[in-house]
Structure 1
Amino acid sequence: MSSLKINLRAAALLGSLLIGASPALAEAVLHRGNAGEPQTLDQHHTSINIEEFILKDLYEGLTVYDAAGKIVPGAAESWTVSDDGTVYTFKLRADAKWSDGSPVTAGDFVFSFQRVEDPKTAAGYANILFPVKNAEKVNKGEVPLDQLGMKAVDDKTLEITLERPTPFFLELLAHQTALPVSKASVEKNGADFVKPGTMVSNGAFKLAAHVPNDSLTVEKNASYWDAANVKLDKVIFYPIDDQAASVRRFEAKEMDIAYNFSADQLERLKAAYGAQVRVSPTLATYYYAFDTRQEPYSDVRVRQALSMAVDRDFLAKEIYSGSQLPAYSMVPPGIETYGDPSKADFAEMSQLDREDKAVELMKEAGYGEGGKPLAIEIRYNTNPNHERVATAVADMWKNTFGATVTMVNLDVSSHYAYLQEGGAFNVARAGWVADYADAENFLALSVSTNKTFNYGHYTNPDFDALMKKSYEETDPAARSKILHEAEALMMKEQPVAPFLTQADLWLVADKVKGWQDNAANQHLSRFLSVSE
């Protein structure tokens, strides 16, 4: 035997000894910044995307969004739809299990959807499932829970009957409200089913620890049907609504992903981090709502004037560094089934002409110079960008109308809780990210019966009638025309003033693999991995 072969053999033996002696491979941990502390981990009380990002790691609906933001099978491996588009039959995966090893059944989904619509649950997002037969009636207490249009044909076959054909129903099923709960766990643990050590979930991860305002940790769920393809052992979410602190932690490599940074940092961050800075146009609208229950915001002329006086080009360019676009419609562009949205009639005017018209309208209403004094309070959720927008808008209203403008801010959870619970206000900042790619999702916010998201309590029977008609129309082109009419009416009356079409701003470290920008802003950790 040659000395070369002996040396190679010795090297191989030494290598195997070293490998055998080495410690276990390090855990694959993703450190993920989130833009605030979740109000809840109960999917039937959720309302904002910082909860959604966590919940969709913990739970899996019948359908899910893949890494590219497309709808794909989730807990259901397949489905069929009746010829009239009203009956969906889902086949659940044979190996779909809860984190305690028990099977995910059709009965769990029936229980979950009934829980959403049960008036006792008081789910803020119950309307997401109103296309299901009798869902709205159940939610209003008009018919019993067992009349909800869902049936467990057997443990792995679920039949859902709709009120009417709903083109976006599969997208609704990927919403966090449609995530299932374990019937056995909820019945045993009640409200405590959301706690670490108690929660039973069916997603790629399970809840390991939660220290409010510090961190939330999920770990790989060995019982998940696709666990073999989940590359992360653990994801740690950090609830940071201080954007500067979030960026600092990313730059210090303490976080691999940071969500939403201050737009005035965009150029600096791009120069320093290149492709790690992600600006992803999305189906989202940044707007101000007026409390139409009180004067002067009950006067359409005042709402029009205040909206017209806001220089959206300034907001987009100077505050958001061009990362967002001026908006004059509630529905953002880019929805294939809708086409160009219906804009406010002042959209084509110059800013100077808008301001002149705004002064004229305000005088007609009896406010401003020579009329009643105008005192306005702007509410917004804590965030440097929102503060800069509020400050700029305040200056515009002061300069145009001589208004006295004050500002008040709360953390994101408290801000939205206040609005959703019906708190009185003058003007409030809000944003809406599409739950599904359909214009109805944006317009339904202002239907008078929407008690959760119609923050300004706008009521217009003609608008409501158009929305009702749109639900009954099965021809896509005719339905789109009706929705355009509804939006045109809404933009004339300005119960909300759309300012910007949003983009999502993310920082994603090079070590994170599998990330894909998408308009749905869906980034499930199960599709991601980390490399050192």
Structure 2
Amino acid sequence: MTQLVAAFTVLSMVFLAACGGGSSQASDDQVLDIGMIVSEPPSLDPAKAQDSQSGHILRHVLEGLVNIDKDGNPKPGIAKEWEVSDDGKEITFHLRDATWSNGDPVTAEDFEYAWKRVLNPDTGAIYAYQLFYLKNGEEYNAGEAEADEVGVDAVDDKTLKVELKQPTPYFISLTAFYTLLPVNKDVVEENGKWAANADTYVGNGAFTLDVWEHDSKIELKKNEDYWNADKVKLSKINVPFNQEEQTAYQLFKSGKLDYGDKNSLPVDLIPELVEKGEVETKKKLGSYSYIFNLEEEPFDNKKIRKAFALAIDRKKIVEDVTQGGEAPSNGWVPWGMPDPANGEEWVKQHGQYQKSSAQPEKAKELLEEGMEEEGIDKLPEITLDYNTDDSHKKIAEALQQMWKKHLDVDVKLQNSEWKVFLEKQSNGDFQMSRQGWLPDYIDPMTYLDMYTTESDQNKANWHNEEYDELIEKAKSTNDQKKRSKLMHEAEEILMEEMPIIPIYFYTEFILQKDHVKNVIYKKDASFDFREAYLTEE
């Protein structure tokens, strides 16, 4: 979820809460207070959302054609069933009876409208490329086709027909991603700011957006009209925003929070709490990295980019800074991602693209060669951007020291609030910038196609024709062995050209009170509270 990762990762998210504390609620008082270090969600309009914290709220107030189970497999959502044609290019979804929170029926037209709205170039959706799988989807987005030529059609109120450009094995799972969630056509057309406030927000999910005090908190309320409401036990989820990890942890310890993640944990306490068993650790399918802006000097030079990458001691980062069981990354696609060719872990199917330890001599040599190619004897001032967070700050400071030690380069650090940080990346207003990425669906492509030339997620402004061709070929075949080979070749090019510096693969940490039951942590690194419940202590 592309996700740029919001809080600690492009992106990780859990909820923080208020409303009187959460540790002593009886089983019939199902109010959950959830802790996370998170700021204001930039947007709760699925066409405009681009980060994991917005996405996590969206997955609870809206529901797509399918849901994803804890293992990453699609299961019925608003679509109760579907059929796929023999050639894999046509999918017909059959919708169940469901209603919007304003009482309107959820129809196939709502999905058709929502998807074409994402593709409409006037919308400016950063995730529009996730619908380029549709016949004429990319062409419509580029102004080369009409909306009625796009391969999604509401045959009737309960039938949605999808025509794909080529077989896409993961497309059904992709329909659970927040960009492909439906919107109420009449509501959106009547009020362009419908998603800006709780009193105008209309959803179809397990919860409604009951309260949204901007820059303060969100409160979610059980949607009694949700089609699967009998499975929803929580009456309310409190989601206050809090930037301070120490504050969130103290609230948890004092019984005012029920649930939290890594963003509720002071970095310095993680090793101790893990050793004591006070937090649950899980491997997280995510990559932490830094991206270069190839349109800004000096990182338009590959040798200089690689010099900065080789000067990083990733092993030291995970052992001395993050200290949470993370693994130094050996590529861009993270641990836990299955290889579509054989189901084995992707990272074990290729060599080590980058070493865990720094290579200072090689780094210095490449820096000198790159500067000579550029005709300079001194680097311009270099600034590293990160979003405000104590964990990101510690990592940035460690890298700053490594670059000084191994390259004798001074790097200025600059932080900004999450929404501003995202805007700076989108506008190309950076030289180097932190980036985390969680999967939009369970396939290596969710990491690889974001660096094609036409992808709006390609904040590095990197262009490579061979890479683009490999990704296009991988998207044009249903042969999983062929797809895998093409994607491995693409990742090798990505790591050779180094528009990004992968640093480590994530872990997730979960703080959970004993009375909190059945919260589902999914393979795509999202949290599902739809069937969670509380018991008496």
The structural deviation recorded for 1:343 is: 6.6
Pick from 508, 518, 523: which aligns with 1:519?
523
Pairing 1:435–2:437 present? no
Shift in alpha-carbon separation, 1:305–1:343, aligned structure 2, 3 A:
farther
SS at match of 1:306: helix
Q: Alpha-carbon deviations, 1:7-32, whole Å to 9, x = none?
A: xxxxxxxxxxxxxxxxx986311112
Aligned length: 501
* Alignment gaps of 5+ in structure 1: 1-23
Cα separation, 2, equivalents of 1:292 and 1:64: 38
SS at match of 1:52: helix
What are the residue-to-residue correspondences of 1:64-83 with 2, within 5 Å? Answer: 64-67=67-70, 69-83=72-86
Counterpart residue number, 2:471: 467
Counterpart residue number, 1:51: 54
Cα separation, 2, equivalents of 1:25 and 1:398: 56
CA contact (8 A) 1:67 1:515 kept: no
Counterpart residue number, 2:6: none
Matched residue type, 1:347: Q
Cα separation, 2, equivalents of 1:326 and 1:271: 21
Counterpart residue number, 1:177: 179
The structural deviation recorded for 1:130 is: 1.3
Pick from 401, 406, 417: which aligns with 1:400?
406
The structural deviation recorded for 1:479 is: 1.3
SS at match of 2:54: helix
CA contact (8 A) 2:316 2:357 kept: no
Q: Alpha-carbon deviations, 1:407-432, whole Å to 9, x = none?
A: 00012222122102332x22111101
For the aligned residue pairs, the C-alpha RMSD in angstroms reads: 2.1
Counterpart residue number, 1:115: 117
The structural deviation recorded for 1:344 is: 7.9
Counterpart residue number, 1:302: 304
Matched residue type, 2:273: L
Counterpart residue number, 1:106: 108
Greater CA drift, 438-447 or 301-310: 438-447
Matched residue type, 1:443: L
Identity of aligned residues (%): 34
Q: Alpha-carbon deviations, 1:388-420, whole Å to 9, x = none?
A: 111010101001111111100012222122102
Decide which structure has greater helix share: 1
Matched residue type, 1:228: D
Counterpart residue number, 2:19: none
Cα separation, 1, equivalents of 2:62 and 2:497: 40
Cα separation, 2, equivalents of 1:505 and 1:133: 41
**TM-score, structure 2 length as denominator?**
0.89
The structural deviation recorded for 1:86 is: 0.8
Counterpart residue number, 2:9: none
What are the residue-to-residue correspondences of 1:228-239 with 2, within 5 Å? Answer: 228-239=230-241
Pairing 1:347–2:357 present? no
What are the residue-to-residue correspondences of 1:243-254 with 2, within 5 Å? Answer: 243-254=245-256
Matched residue type, 2:490: A
Pairing 1:391–2:397 present? yes
Shift in alpha-carbon separation, 1:129–1:215, aligned structure 2, 3 A:
same
Pairing 1:489–2:496 present? no
Counterpart residue number, 2:387: 381
SS at match of 1:38: coil
Q: Alpha-carbon deviations, 1:339-377, whole Å to 9, x = none?
A: 5448786635x836x211111111112279x93246321
SS at match of 1:170: helix
Shift in alpha-carbon separation, 1:501–1:345, aligned structure 2, 3 A:
closer
The structural deviation recorded for 1:66 is: 3.1
SS at match of 1:46: coil
* Alignment gaps of 5+ in structure 2: 1-25
Cα separation, 2, equivalents of 1:178 and 1:493: 32
Please identify the structure whose Cα radius of gyration is greater. Answer: 1
Greater CA drift, 83-92 or 412-421: 412-421
CA contact (8 A) 2:305 2:499 kept: yes
Cα separation, 1, equivalents of 2:489 and 2:504: 21
Matched residue type, 1:178: L
